[in-house]
Structure 1
Amino acid sequence: MTHPFFDGTLRPRVFAHRGLVTAEGGASGVWENTAAAFASAHAAGVEYVETDSHVSADGDTVLIHDSDLARLNGDRRAVSEIRTRELRAVFADHGGLLTVPEALDAFPDLRFNIDVKADAAAVAVGEAVAQHADRVLLTSFSDARRRRALAAALEAGAPHRPATSAGARTVAALMAITRTGLSPARLLRDVDALQIPERQGLLRVLTPALIRAARRHDVEIHVWTVNDAEEMTRIIGAGADGIVSDRADVALRVLRPV
């Protein structure tokens, strides 16, 4: 049985990676993971937005990818050391900072794929999404971190757990076990998606064996980060259920032609 996160939406899935920053938006100073980037994705017709969460010095679940702001504006302080009001001031001219609750409230028609980027964010993010379990997928490279977030959502009153995708160790174990022909049922228990790169260095991650195993257990495969139109078509043709893309507008045009 599929999770409600996937109910009533179109295939192949298109996830707007950190929202959508068009060439025009980038030229005007819009940053990823901002209100403006999410609004652009929504306007393009996207149903799913992929985003990332850290916690500020105030404990707020702010939507920022990196652990500091060095890549964005040269500030090397950890996000966890910066007050929320200061982060809002920094983001004010670049699309607007959002917390997890603010994003869920501001974009009620979007479904959010939230990558919990820091151990300190796990419980706070889980609590923040508890009443939105139908339209949230929680993930992390750390399986332990994503499980803490899922548990926190249930403890905060979620009617059922949010959707979730496997962490790095689970994906590595799946790749090993699918090569042996053994059943991956235990590893895929309570996992709704595998969100993976097509390759990790020289290692192919998206393999026919992994696709077959996912199919048998009603687990979706979403491949990141795919920005080239031909690659989008090829990867979906290979059996992936969706892609995560910086160019969600292109993906919608290519994968769902009118």
Structure 2
Amino acid sequence: MTRHPYLSPDVPRVLAHRGLVTPDAARHGVVENSFAAVAQAHAAGIAYVESDCHRTADGEVVLFHDDDLRRVADDPRAIADVRLHELEEIMSDRGGLITLAQALDAFPDVRFNLDVKAAAAAERVGRLVAPHAARVLVTSFSDERRHAALRAAAAAGAALPPATSPGSSTVARLLAARTLRRRTRVRRLLAGLDALQVPERQGPVRVVTDGLIRDAHAAGVEVHVWTVNAEVDMQRLLDLGVDGLVTDRADVAVAMVNGRGTTAV
């Protein structure tokens, strides 16, 4: 299988979860998924930034995790009900708002891992990333949203599809197929994927196992685990053979990976 250019030849990968907000930056009011958080990840030499996409009331795709402003700004309004200029004002003392278009333009050497959080954002995400598909991975908990974004990228003339990781329903089917030892089914579910981005556990179910990693690698698919913040867990998962760590402490992860005698990408 040909490796998607989003995935550089070397592993392990460190993916800055919603950018990088160090404790010092947090004390100064910087929040996740802000312009400052992406800039800090870039300044730290982190090649991959994981982020989330919502659409504002006036149709702009912004990097924002929650579907409302309660947690970030103590404001009950949904992102879908707020216009861009209002969101820019709210985020002005929180590290600054960043739209997807701004992120792709301002950080041309960053590879973006984009989780489509809202159905209304999917088509616009696909169109925006189409010229940048070589450095973008599109994912979503919803396979429907993920496929909608990928179709939009193709319709917008993307030279190649963005890289992709499956939604939760595909992951559930994959785990079931592995449990039932349906090898052909496992291979079919992994076909067309570039990465399998999953939590280590989902409730009582252990998702990341030796067997899952072997099956993914046999299909040319990487395994990235989220969200891993303790260094001891980072070490353990890398020893298990995972290819990437999605983490709030990308600075810690990079230092740890470099300390192992390898270079983080």
TM-score (norm 2): 0.95
1:1-258 to structure 2, matched below 5 A, reads 1-7=2-8, 10-181=10-181, 182-183=183-184, 184-257=186-259
Count of residue pairs brought into register by the alignment: 257
CA drift at 1:180: 2.6
CA drift at 1:93: 1.1
Task: Report the 3-state secondary structure (helix = DSSP H, G, I; strand = E; otherwise coil) of the residue aligned with 1:62.
Answer: strand
CA distance in 2, matches of 1:64, 1:27: 20
Task: Report the 3-state secondary structure (helix = DSSP H, G, I; strand = E; otherwise coil) of the residue aligned with 1:256.
Answer: helix
Q: Do the aligned residues in 2 keep the contact of 1:179 with 1:209 (CA within 8 Å)?
A: no
CA distance in 2, matches of 1:180, 1:203: 15
CA distance in 1, matches of 2:42, 2:258: 16
Task: Report the 3-state secondary structure (helix = DSSP H, G, I; strand = E; otherwise coil) of the residue aligned with 1:53.
Answer: strand
For residue 131 of structure 2, what is the amino acid of its counterpart?
Q
Higher alpha-carbon deviation: 126-135 or 176-185:
176-185
For residue 187 of structure 1, what is the amino acid of its counterpart?
L
Task: Report the 3-state secondary structure (helix = DSSP H, G, I; strand = E; otherwise coil) of the residue aligned with 1:93.
Answer: coil
For residue 221 of structure 2, what is the amino acid of its counterpart?
V
For residue 195 of structure 2, what is the amino acid of its counterpart?
A
After superposition, the CA RMSD in angstroms is 0.9
CA drift at 1:7: 2.6
Higher alpha-carbon deviation: 174-183 or 88-97:
174-183
Task: Report the 3-state secondary structure (helix = DSSP H, G, I; strand = E; otherwise coil) of the residue aligned with 1:6.
Answer: coil
For residue 199 of structure 1, what is the amino acid of its counterpart?
R
| Aligned sequence identity (%) | 54
CA drift at 1:209: 1.8
CA drift at 1:98: 1.0
CA drift at 1:204: 0.1
CA distance in 1, matches of 2:97, 2:206: 36
CA distance in 1, matches of 2:58, 2:22: 31
Q: Do the aligned residues in 2 keep the contact of 1:174 with 1:210 (CA within 8 Å)?
A: no
- Provide, for residues 186-244 of structure 1, a one-character-per-residue CA deviation record: whole Å limited to 9, x for no partner: 11121111100000111100022211110110000000000001100100111110110
- Provide, for residues 154-208 of structure 1, a one-character-per-residue CA deviation record: whole Å limited to 9, x for no partner: 1011001100001101111111111232221211121111100000111100022
